[in-house]
Structure 1
Amino acid sequence: MAEPVTICICTYRRPSLFEALASLEHLRLSEVEVAAVLVVDNDVTDGLRTEVARWAETCRFPLRYHYAPAQNISIARNAALDGVETRWAAFIDDDEVATADWLEELYAGADEAEAVIGQSVAQYGSALPGWAARCDFHSNRITGRVDNAYTSNALIDVDFLRRKNIRFREELGRTGGEDTLLFRQLTESGGRIVYRPESVVYEEVPPSRASMTWVFRRMYRAGQTHGLLSREYDASGFSRLGLTAGAKALVSAAMTVATLPGSDASRRWAARSALHFGALSYRVRPTILEEYGAKPKTRPSK
């Protein structure tokens, strides 16, 4: 018999939260039960409380509001984990909408794993530059090792995390990469991860993110996160990271020029170059770019 699931949405000043909630109203549920929807507000004030309470009056599922201030996504996600009263928690972002079969497809992998990951598919409006959709830097899919995972579409065995004392690292709550580290901790503790691309959520890309500047920052930070993971779980690889990341960065930079700057191929090589330069920078100085702070910063990683 299927175990109940709590759907968790962490939010920070995004009106799209209510589009995400609306999409849950249309879930097809035959093999899984939704016990509750938990909204965790990470803003400096609890201004959403009244609006969420109003929404709860007609919501298909029991809707709970939790206030977790600090503008730190790790604090919000840990608050979600603490507030879950079921074994399973399904995470979706506040700027995503779920397809009708999202949760059913996600839960279909639960028997084989302690975490199940679906795909987050970016949608590009006609006003955005054409290269954004063709290069598709914004979608989340697993293409390499399965623990290179994310919480934008994830089902997690919360009981397993509690037994193993696995939490989102708060020092990464403004940088990003906290979810990647959590899933690495999960597998290092004996947990299994299954990727189910059949489980789909959609995210509309705003114009502010449809720029190569945004892509460079995101890829550079992802490279720094790779450096952190290497330092914590692959000592020999970390010792060679200066050489390997440096070589890959230079090759990628050369290919960026060789493939006609401004072309889609050149943009993809430039993104790879930013990734490898991020890893190289972490090897030289272990800090991570603060993506979500008020100003661009770097924050030392522990």
Structure 2
Amino acid sequence: MNPADPATTVVICAYTERRWDDVVAALASVRAQTVPAGEVILVIDHNPGLEERAAAEFGDVLVVPNAGRRGLSGARNTAIELAKGEVIVFLDDDAVPEQDWLEQLLAGYRDPRVLAVGGAARPVWPDGRRAPLLPARGAGTGELDWVVGCTYTGQPVTETPVRNLMGCNMSFRREAFQLAGLFTEDLGRVGRTPLGCEETELCIRLRQASPGSVILFRPSSVVRHRVTPDRLTWGYLRRRGWGEGLSKALVSRSVGADAALATERDYLRRVIPAAVLRELSRLLRGQRTGLAGLLAVFVVVGATALGYARGKLSGRRLQIRVSTPKLVHGPIHVATVDIHNMPARLQVPARTVGHYRAAQVLVRDGARTLDVVLLPVRRGVVRLDLIGIGTPAPAPAPEFERPLVSVVIPTANRKAQAVTSVRAALAAGYPHLEILVVDNFPPGPNGDDWLREEVEKLGARYLVETRKGVSVARNTGARESSGELIAFIDENISVEPGWFDAVAEEFAADHEVGCVTAMVLPASLETDAEVLFERLKGYSHTVRRQRLDRETVREDPLYPLSMARYGPGSCTTWRRETFESLGGFDPLLGAGTPAVAGEDLDLFVRLARARGTVVYTPHAVARHTHRADWLELREQMRGYGVGLAAMLLLSVLRRPIGVFSVVRRIPRGMARLASRTPELPLSDRAARSRLRQLRRDERYGMLSGPLALGRAWKRHRFDARSGSR
């Protein structure tokens, strides 16, 4: 396994118990891969009996029901919303991959431009021999093998970019669904109805959303696709061709005829005439297979053309879904469970039965984070058995020397929250802590008497910084501290027990690490504003530990816009020598300045340019109090836009040659920004209006970023001349 390979989720969708043996074989082959999958999700398409049987049989697999419309697309979308992997891989329930299948797929992602990788599908015929009904040059692929879901003549035989992938053997980066949306549920197989093209339509949308991206076909990644006898009949050929034509007509309405039919036109001009001439030659030589082959070509092509014509006349259009969870509005219960004493079901508080629609559950194994899952709440109960995680033996706590950690907590308008944050830090159980609370909005030069008393009563230090700005306050706290490590924790964040141990462990294990970021989860998801913020800007981006350096991040096509991958700057720990070598936070950026935000991204950019290293650890968990008020959320979104634009401009001013890198990546960055909009029912006009307003606020903030940076610079110059502290 290559350490650079991304974490994967393998998805298999099933709908009938008639394929039980196929599902068992598919799962067994996934377990036997040379590169193990991070998780496996089996989605059952509206078949409670099959779901119950699968959940009882496959203890190491997450078995879930299709939460969408009946059909393959709805099942796949359900898995996408649950998957935790950076790459989501789709395997048909009647396909068995080769042992290096997953390894070959993941090798394609070493090029950062690649957003999707697919492989070949070789047929497994009912009697072990190719069916005479489907023409072929010899024992290899045939021109009509797509009818039975397999690689066909005309597809590439070497690794090459393609328009779309085959549904039985394909994979996508998670980013692809953020850019293009999910599979449209108006397409795709429903039961035994032979419709399709949902993967074609999605791949075309992806290329339109991200023109510089690559969809890669790797024939070295192979699955064996079982062909049942019922697919080798004249009736099935007619139905399959008709369904393909109907689907292509819908796709052409959605993405345009040129994009939808480019590959098909080449297939009809080049591949089909060659097949007709070959089968006609066989017929003239007296071979009976020639007649069957000719008839099959005419039946399939003719039925496809008729289906396309019928679809074009229907006037029907596709509904495209975006790629975020459905449970956006309404409160979400927040919970933490440990697998060593986890019940099968979690009862929400009695007073709120019927109040919550979903639960966000942090799954821990003692001091280690295993997963964060979003589960439905039905009748006041959360089924924790849906999580599908076994019970491994607890890992022994590593032994290392625990250095002094200085905790800097800046505060302005939420001083009671700052006291709560101090208490949480003290309760985290770390033996060597120094806590400094920096009052950045004191009522007078001597500070706030109440806050001073509360802080000193807890054994922490109280500092006053009259110059406005969270960056100045953090720098003041760092300058007055004495620890080898400096943890910056915002006033609205409370760390959980074990937080400092998990962070200090990373520094002790790797002396090249200059900064450690943590997983930050919401403290509450009770209001629409809190839930929307978590969907749009939530900090819990992955449960996988990541080691990020300049070269890793520069591979991202959005660098330096991708620095948010490092984690939230509101809950970070720095090695003192690294922080001081960078000069600390820039006082022109951050809350309390006209630029409002962007100070954490700016420091990460400077660290990357200095070839520094950041480790993100999901095992250090903190809770963030989101803004519960709608108007406050709007102001926060505007501030994010102001800070992002100001940070980018300041980065270019420091290093003018970087302007070319920023400008080149802005279109794709804006596409990603626009795509991260939660899904809402079409009838919920008020909710859609709120989302559009939030996006407008963020964009308008970006427009005012340069002017805000200019005002921040003037204020900083004034403070420097006046010598204020």
Sort the TM-score into its range (normalised by shorter chain). 0.7 to 0.9
Equivalent position to 1:171, from 186, 193, 216 = 186
Match runs of 1:9-48 below 5 Å: 9-13=12-16, 14-15=19-20, 16-29=22-35, 33-48=36-51
Say if 1:128 and 1:210, in contact at 8 Å, map to a contact too: no
Q: Partner of 1:263: helix, strand, or coil?
A: helix
Q: CA deviation at 1:270?
A: 2.7
Residue 159 (structure 1) aligns with: 175
Distance 1:45 1:171 in 2: 23
Q: CA deviation at 1:128?
A: 7.6
Equivalent position to 2:155, from 137, 143, 149 = 143
Equivalent position to 1:186, from 195, 199, 206 = 206
Q: CA deviation at 1:278?
A: 2.1
Distance 2:86 2:98 in 1: 23
Q: Deviations over 1:143-189 (max 9, x none)?
A: 28822323210111123312x25111122243422222111111111
Query: Is the counterpart of residue 55 in structure 1 residue 58 in structure 2?
Result: yes
Distance 2:169 2:229 in 1: 22
Distance 1:5 1:215 in 2: 35
Say if 1:44 and 1:71, in contact at 8 Å, map to a contact too: no
1:74–1:65 CA distance, 2 compared to 1 (3 A): same
Letter in 1 for 2:314: R
Q: Partner of 1:7: helix, strand, or coil?
A: strand
Q: CA RMSD in A?
A: 3.2
Which deviates further from its counterpart, 218-227 or 202-211? Answer: 218-227
Q: Highest Rg: 1 or 2?
A: 2
Q: CA deviation at 1:47?
A: 3.4
Match runs of 1:50-199 below 5 Å: 50-56=53-59, 62-68=60-66, 70-112=69-111, 113-126=114-127, 130-132=131-133, 134-135=135-136, 136=142, 137=145, 138=148, 139-141=150-152, 143=155, 146-162=162-178, 164=179, 166-173=181-188, 174=190, 175-190=195-210, 191-199=213-221
Q: Partner of 1:114: helix, strand, or coil?
A: strand
Which deviates further from its counterpart, 220-229 or 72-81? Answer: 220-229
Q: Deviations over 1:3-32 (max 9, x none)?
A: 211111011112111111111232122xxx
Distance 2:312 2:119 in 1: 31
Residue 295 (structure 1) aligns with: none
Say if 1:186 and 1:192, in contact at 8 Å, map to a contact too: no
Distance 2:258 2:56 in 1: 52
Say if 1:12 and 1:71, in contact at 8 Å, map to a contact too: no
Q: CA deviation at 1:86?
A: 1.4
Q: CA deviation at 1:192?
A: 2.0
Q: Percent identity?
A: 23
1:235–1:37 CA distance, 2 compared to 1 (3 A): closer
Residue 59 (structure 1) aligns with: none
Equivalent position to 1:201, from 223, 242, 252 = 223
Q: Partner of 1:125: helix, strand, or coil?
A: coil
1:71–1:229 CA distance, 2 compared to 1 (3 A): closer
Say if 1:124 and 1:204, in contact at 8 Å, map to a contact too: yes
1:237–1:72 CA distance, 2 compared to 1 (3 A): closer
Which deviates further from its counterpart, 119-128 or 204-213? Answer: 119-128
1:228–1:221 CA distance, 2 compared to 1 (3 A): same
Say if 1:6 and 1:35, in contact at 8 Å, map to a contact too: yes
* Higher RCO (C-alpha 8 Å, min separation 6): 1
Q: How many residues align?
A: 271
1:86–1:272 CA distance, 2 compared to 1 (3 A): same
Letter in 1 for 2:78: A
Distance 1:73 1:115 in 2: 19
Distance 1:127 1:87 in 2: 37
Query: Is the counterpart of residue 284 in structure 1 residue 342 in structure 2?
Result: no
Q: Deviations over 1:264-295 (max 9, x none)?
A: 133223322222222222223346xxxxxxxx
Equivalent position to 2:246, from 215, 224, 247 = 224
Say if 1:75 and 1:170, in contact at 8 Å, map to a contact too: yes
Gaps of 5+ in 2: 137-141, 284-289, 320-725
1:236–1:160 CA distance, 2 compared to 1 (3 A): closer
Letter in 2 for 1:153: N
Distance 1:165 1:273 in 2: 32
Residue 264 (structure 1) aligns with: 293
TM-score by length of 1: 0.78
Say if 2:237 and 2:296, in contact at 8 Å, map to a contact too: no
Q: Deviations over 1:119-140 (max 9, x none)?
A: 1111112288831465552213
1:161–1:130 CA distance, 2 compared to 1 (3 A): closer
Q: Partner of 2:74: helix, strand, or coil?
A: helix
Q: CA deviation at 1:106?
A: 0.9
Distance 1:118 1:48 in 2: 28
Say if 1:43 and 1:68, in contact at 8 Å, map to a contact too: yes
Letter in 2 for 1:83: L
Gaps of 5+ in 1: 57-61, 288-299
Q: CA deviation at 1:54?
A: 2.9
Residue 291 (structure 1) aligns with: none
Say if 2:163 and 2:204, in contact at 8 Å, map to a contact too: yes
